A and B are shown apart, each in its own frame.
Chain A
Amino acid sequence: MTEAKRSGQRVKAGDNGNVSPSSLSGPGQLAAAVAIATDGVGLPEEQLGEYALGHGLKLSSARPTIFEYIRQLWQRRHFITGFATAMNMAMYTEARLGQLWQVLTPLLNVAVYFLIFGELLHTSRGVPNYIAFLVTGVFVFNFSQRSFLIASRVMNDSLPLIRVLHFPRACLPLGYVLIELQQLIVSFTVLFAIVLISGEPLTWYWLLAIPALILQTLFNFGGGLILARWGAGFDDVSQLLPFIVRTWLYLSGVLFSIQALALIHGGVLFKHPRLAFGLQINPAAVFITLVRNAILHSQRVSQPGAKPYDAGKCSLYMRFPDQHLLDAAHCHPIVTQPDLWLIGAGWAIVTLVIGFVFFWQAETRYGRG
């Protein structure tokens, strides 16, 4: 009888009271299990596990169901927003220029990209108002880039908090993406100023940037959750990620127009339409294009598909892009504008759902090590 054996092993406190110090050297000799019995209360007769479950106890490492998890997260919404706001305020207190850096950093990047890529390598070819095109791309990409880089470190950086308090761990990556969203709102006021100064008109189309950025935020939540779990598992992820993100930057049409490279004779993507399609449907390119088409008049009117197809005018653009910039509108688009919205929504929802489930699966493993 295993049960009898087990309870036999469990000695009531005091019964094994006089362990001689010599037996300390050999742990194997000690009683394998001891229960702390309360006075007058006997030891549970059943198996300990059944006894615990019978009294409504749960495994300390038990994971809530996914619906329970969502409910807990919703209950902590004030924590997530409060955490994001407080961290945002604290993040730049050590730097002398303070929060100015969240705008200065991407602006300095823009300056470098403009000189190296736009002027030296002439990636501005076939793009009207390149500076506004570039700034928009850099700022929108920066949102995902920073969200992902931070999310990959968040679980390891927050170990002290995780160990002291119990709360649904998804609060942390969600909170950090929210910090980036708050910073995005600040940096977009600067972006809007640059775009207006560069000669773009203010129109109602600008409002379309809001749904595009909401989709991007959902996508960042999902991607952030995935990277948070990976980053918690392997320290290598946060080392490798900057390179991956940089490659992603070069592939997402931040510095050049995927459309232009696919259309212009001699363009790299001209001979590889499938590659152009692949680049254009990648989430970063989708969100960047959607925001550019919303706030940049020059992009909206010149994007392929904006006007009815006209083989003659299109081929003019393909051969002499800089003289016939606006004729690109008469070409076939790689992906039409409505399709871009659908793909963007698809990326947002699929990534969020996968990321959420993926993160939740490891819920009880965060903070271990």
Chain B
Amino acid sequence: MAEPMVVVDDLHVVYRVYGAGRDRGTAATALMRMVRRQRRGSIREVHAIRGISFVAYRGDAVGVIGRNGSGKSTLLRAIAGLLPAEKGAVYTDGHAALLGVNAAMLEELTGDKNITLGCLAMGMPPKEVKERYQAIADFSGIGDFVKLPMKTYSTGMGSRLRFAIASAKHQNILLVDEALATGDAEFRIRSQKRIEELRRDAGTVFLVAHNLLHVEETCNRVIWLEKGQIVRAGDDVPGIIDSYIEATGGEPLDRRRAKV
């Protein structure tokens, strides 16, 4: 019997955007709001996830596909526990690490400080951090840049280092939100291998990517979202991807060329 790692039960997520209107808030009104414990007026609600249920098991690599704004990133953030569920719930085995494309870490600090502190923050004892440091630095492949502050990195380098750090500790659940999109081909192959390893170690990986070939190569299951709901989901990865491409009116994947 496969063990569930992530159970999403009729999940609804609603974003509230404050201050979309005229209420710009002066110091006096701000004070009154704080005293009365009120939120800012003129709220716009965005119903980003509308009732999603699924179960992901140990060893699954789940690709999440869909157009921009279909709720892919929102779903991952809800699984990570970073967004409250309006209705329904997300159950996970342990905490999920979320890797996004813009998420820097400690920008002011050098790469090696980020490795050390990132590992310590994940709860590794200092001795283990020392042992693993070199492997993480090597995996990220950023070379001498490890001695420079992270804000000097290119987007690709930043995401390589973050991925190397977050995947260094055995994560039960790793959520990758386009974080590998900026890496080069060589790093993508390496990170694909790392995702394989995590799956073999009974972890579960969620991958949001617009590169459908990448999803097909990496994932054994796929969820297709549209307007916050599941259109199709299952383990017929090429089939679902093909009908997604058909629905969006794109060119079918050239799988032969990809294998070369």
Main secondary structure of the interface of B (DSSP, over half): mixed
Q: Report A-chain residues with C-beta under 8 Å of the C-beta of B25.
A: 236
B108 contacts across to A, CB distance below 8 A? 87, 90-91, 93
Q: Is the CB of A59 within 8 A of B91?
A: yes
Does the CB pair B34–A19 fall under 8 Å?
no
Q: In the complex, A41→B57 CA distance in Å? A: 11
Using known A-B contacts A36-B221, A49-B89, A60-B90, determine if residue A165 contacts B121 with beta carbons closer than 8 Å.
Answer: yes
Does B81 lie at the interface of the complex (its beta carbon under 8 Å from any beta carbon of A)?
yes
* CB <8 Å contact, B235 and A39: yes
Closest A residue to B1 using CB positions: A41
CA distance A41 to B10 in the complex (A): 21
Across the interface, which residues of A come within 8 angstroms of B91, CB to CB? 49, 52-53, 57-60
Instruction: Report Cα–Cα, A312/B3, bound state, in Å.
Output: 86
- With beta carbons under 8 angstroms apart, the residue of B56, B99, B106, B113 that contacts A161 is B106
Q: Count the B residues whose beta carbon is within 8 Å of the partner chain — how many?
A: 85
As a 0/1 sequence over residues 63 to 95 of chain A, the CB contacts with chain B under 8 angstroms (1 = contact) are 000000000100110110011001100110100
Contacting residue for B236 out of A17, A93, A160, A234, CB 8 A: A17
Chain A nearest Cβ from B5, distance in angstroms: 8
Q: With A13-B235, A164-B103, A236-B33 as known contacts, state yes or no: A27 contacts B116, CB within 8 Å.
A: no
Contact of A239 among B27, B82, B116 (CB under 8 A): B27
B227 at the interface (CB under 8 A from A): yes
The interface residues of chain B lying within 8 Å CB-to-CB of A32 are 10, 51, 53, 229
Residues of chain A lying within 8 A (CB to CB) of residue B82? 162-163, 367-368
B233 at the interface (CB under 8 A from A): yes
Q: Is B92 an interface residue (CB 8 A)?
A: yes
B92 and A58 contacting across the interface, CB-CB below 8 Å: yes
Q: Point out which of A33, A75, A164 has the most chain B C-beta atoms below 10 A from its C-beta.
A: A164
Q: Does B117 contact A61, Cβ atoms closer than 8 Å?
A: no
B43 within 8 A of A: no
Would you call B34 and A234 a contact (CB within 8 A)?
A: yes
Give chain A interface residues in 13-66, CB to chain B under 8 Å: 13-14, 16-19, 21, 24, 27, 30-39, 41, 43-44, 47-49, 51-53, 55-62
Interface-central residue, B3, B60, B99, B231, by most chain A CB under 10 Å: B231
Assess whether B252 is interfacial by the CB under 8 Å rule.
no
Cα distance A58–B81 when bound, in Å? 11
Once the chains bind, are B62 and A36 in contact (CB under 8 Å)?
yes
B230 interface contact, C-beta 8 A? yes
Q: Which of B189-197, B207-215, B239-247 contacts A (4 or more CB under 8 A)?
A: B239-247
Whose C-beta in chain B lies nearest to the C-beta of A81? B120
A33-B10 in contact given A24-B247, A83-B117 (Cβ < 8 Å): yes
The reply on B31 being an interface residue by CB < 8 A is yes
Tell me whether A82 and B120 are in contact (CB under 8 A): yes
Q: Please state if B30 and A34 are interface contacts (CB–CB under 8 Å).
A: no
Contacts of B92 in A (CB 8 A): 57-58, 60
Q: Is A336 an interface residue when CB atoms closer than 8 A count as contact?
A: no
Task: Determine whether A319 belongs to the interface, using a CB cutoff of 8 Å to chain B.
Answer: no
In the complex, chain A residues whose CB is within 8 Å of the CB of B247: 21, 24
A202 to chain B, nearest CB (A): 38
Are the CB atoms of B103 and A37 closer together than 8 Å? no
List chain B residues, Cβ under 8 A from A324.
Answer: none
Interface check B126, CB cutoff 8 A: yes
Q: Are A164 and B105 in contact (CB under 8 A)?
A: yes
Are B243 and A33 touching (Cβ within 8 A)? Answer: no
Report the minimum CB–CB distance from B171 to chain A (whole Å): 9
**Does A166 sit at the interface, judged by CB under 8 A?**
yes
Which of B30, B89, B226 is A24 in contact with, Cβ under 8 Å? Answer: B226
Kindly report which residue of chain B lies nearest to residue A9, judged by CB atoms. B53
Q: Tell me whether A34 and B53 are in contact in the complex, defined as CB-CB below 8 angstroms, given that A17-B232, A61-B90, A368-B83 are known contacts.
A: yes
> Which B75-116 residues have a C-beta within 8 angstroms of A?
77-85, 89-93, 95-100, 102-109, 113, 116
Q: Is the CB of B236 within 8 A of A13?
A: yes
B69 at interface (Cβ–Cβ under 8 A)? no
Residue of A36, A79, A239, A240 ringed by the most chain B CB atoms within 10 A: A36
Say yes or no: A33-B53 contact (C-beta < 8 A), given A59-B89, A367-B82: yes
A369–B95 CA distance with the chains assembled, in angstroms: 19
CB B78 to nearest CB in A, in angstroms, measures 7
**Whose C-beta in chain A lies nearest to the C-beta of B102?**
A160
B104, B109, B123 — which one has the most chain A CB atoms within 10 A of its CB? B123
Using A31-B230, A37-B234 as known contacts, say yes or no to A60 and B79 having CB atoms under 8 A apart. yes
CB distance from B93 to the nearest CB of A (A): 5
Q: A49 to B126, alpha carbons, bound, how many Å?
A: 38
What is the minimal beta-carbon distance from A33 to any residue of chain B, in angstroms? Answer: 4
Residue from the list A55, A236, A367 in contact with B3, Cβ < 8 A:
A55
> Given contacts A14-B236, A16-B232, A49-B89, are A57 and B117 in contact (CB under 8 A)?
no
Alpha-carbon separation in the docked complex, A346 to B120 (Å): 33
Task: For residue A192, give the distance in angstroms from its CB to the closest CB of chain B.
Answer: 30
Asked if A146 CB lies within 8 Å of chain B CBs, one says: no
Q: B52 on the interface (CB 8 Å rule)?
A: yes
Indicate whether B205 reaches chain A with its CB closer than 8 angstroms: no
Q: Could you name 30 residue pairs across A and B whose Cβ atoms are closer than 8 Å?
A: A13-B236, A17-B240, A19-B243, A24-B247, A30-B229, A32-B229, A33-B52, A36-B62, A38-B57, A41-B1, A41-B57, A44-B4, A44-B55, A48-B53, A52-B91, A60-B90, A60-B95, A61-B90, A62-B81, A76-B123, A83-B117, A86-B113, A87-B108, A160-B104, A163-B82, A163-B103, A164-B97, A165-B121, A368-B83, A368-B84
Known contacts A17-B239, A165-B97; can you find 6 more A-B pairs with CB under 8 A? A33-B52, A34-B54, A48-B10, A51-B55, A60-B92, A240-B34
Closest 6 CB pairs between A and B? A13-B234, A52-B91, A33-B53, A52-B7, A79-B120, A48-B9
